[in-house]
Amino acid sequence: MSTVYNVAILVGSLRKASINRKLAQALIALAPPSLQLEIVEIGELALYNEDIDGATPPPAYSTFRSRVKAADALLFVTPEYNRSMPAPMKNAIDVGSRPYGQNAFAGKPGAVLSASPGALGGFGAHHHLRQSLACLNVPMLPAPETYLGGAGHFFDDAGKLNENIQVVLQKFIDAFALWIAKQA
C-alpha cells in the first residue's frame, strides 16, 4: 500500500477568481495519487497580534493552526505585490508560527510556486517567502524553482489552462511529490 501525503495549499491572493487560486486548483487536478492537496484559506485571519493570541486565541487562528499541523507538507502559491509576498500570506506565516515554541510549519516539506502577469513571475515574492520559511524549519523543494511570468495568459476565456503551463505545473507537482517522499 502506498502512502498518501496531505498537502495544505496556502494561496497568497484572496480573490476567488485569482490566477494563483486557479493555478492551485490546477495543481490539485494534476497531483499524482500520492498527494491529497487542499487549499487552506487565509483570508479570515486577523492581523497577527500577540495581545489577542492568549489562552483563547481567535477561532480562525486555532482552525488555521490545526489544519496546518494536520498536513504532511505545505505548498505556497503566491502572486507578487511590490516585490514581496502579499500581506495575507505573511500574516498566515506569522499566525502559524506563533506563539513561540508552537510553530505549526516546523519540519513539514514545502514548495513555492509564484505567478505574476509581469515578466519576472513573482521572483521577489518567491524568495521572500522561501527566506521566511527557512527560519521556520520548512525544508524547501530546491528545484525546480518555479516563477511563472505572463500569468494573465495562462487560462482561456472558458478557464482552460494553457497546455505549455500545464506541462510546467506537472513537472513541478511531480518533483514536489518526490521531495515530500524523500523528507518522510
- Read off the pLDDT of residues 108-161 as tens digits, 9 standing for 90 and up: 999 999 999 988 899 999 999 999 999 999 999 999 999 999 999 999 999 999
Confidence of residue 72 (pLDDT cuts 50, 70, 90): very high
Does the pLDDT of residue 1 top 60, yes or no?
A: no
Element (H, E) at 111: strand 110-116
Across the range 79-95, mean pLDDT stands at: 96
Average pLDDT of every residue of the chain: 96
Q: Distance between the two ends of the chain, CA-based, in angstroms?
A: 16
Mean local confidence (pLDDT), 77-106 = 96
State what percent of residues in the chain have pLDDT above 90. 91
Give the mean model confidence (pLDDT) for residues 8-34.
Answer: 96
pLDDT at 16: 87
In angstroms, the CA 65 to CA 103 distance is 9
pLDDT tens figures, 31-67: 999 999 999 999 999 999 999 998 899 999 999 999 9
Residue 26 pLDDT > 80: yes
- Whether residue 139 is preceded by a cis peptide bond, meaning omega within 30 degrees of 0, is no
What is 5-183's CATH number? 3.40.50.360
pLDDT at site 130: 96
C-alpha 111/C-alpha 174 separation (Å) is 12
Average pLDDT for residues 60-88, to the nearest whole number?
97
Mean pLDDT of 158-176: 96
